Amino acid sequence: MYQIYGISNCDTVKKARKHLESLEIEFEFHDFKKAPPTKALISRWKEKLGELPLNKKSRTYREHKETYDGLSASKKVDMLIDQSSLIKRPLLEKNNKPITMGYSKDEYEQLS
């Protein structure tokens, strides 16, 4: 089973969800605004994807860049939890194993 993490009103998340539905792939959606990510989730994503799931192109990051960049690694994780709009989305997992961060039509076409 796939899990998709993000924010329900995010256009990129909407595209990803619609794409999964068009492929008739079942998934569970986890909305950061209803249930923020946990430290364990962020650690799992960082371990698999090689970096924290930070969206450096977001308006939220630009607004908080100086603060974020000055934090220790553990405080950065705390900030991602508190300010989930900082997280690059969507994050896609299968059976609780991270697959991809962000949306790419080509990557989603390869899913089964």
Give catalytic residue positions: 10
Q: Are 37 and 5 in contact (CB under 8 A)?
A: yes
Q: Are 52 and 84 in contact (CB under 8 A)?
A: no
Coil, strand or helix at 31: strand
The owner of tokens 């939220």 is 60
Residue 100, Cβ neighbours under 10 Å: how many?
A: 18
* φ, ψ (nearest 5 deg) of residue 37: -65, 155
